[in-house]
Amino acid sequence: GQNIDQPTEMTATEGAIVQINCTYQTSGFNGLFWYQQHAGEAPTFLSYNVLDGLEEKGRFSSFLSRSKGYSYLLLKELQMKDSASYLCAVRDSNYQLIWGAGTKLIIKP
Amino acid sequence: TAGITQAPTSQILAAGRSMTLRCTQDMRHNAMYWYRQDLGLGLRLIHYSNTAGTTGKGEVPDGYSVSRANTDDFPLTLASAVPSQTSVYFCASSDSMGGPGELFFGEGSRLTVL
Contact A42 B107 (CB under 8 A): yes
Task: Give residues with Cβ within 8 angstroms of A108, minimum separation 6.
Answer: A11, A12, A13, A14
Contact A42 B43 (CB under 8 A): no
Tens of each residue's pLDDT in chain A, 109 residues: 789 999 999 999 999 999 999 999 999 999 999 999 999 999 999 999 999 999 999 999 999 999 999 999 999 999 999 999 999 999 998 888 999 999 999 999 9
| pLDDT-derived band at B95, boundaries 50, 70, 90 | confident
Residues of B with CB under 8 A from a CB of A: 40-45, 48, 58-59, 90, 97-100, 102-108
Nearest Cα of chain B lies from the Cα of A108 at a distance, in angstroms, of 23
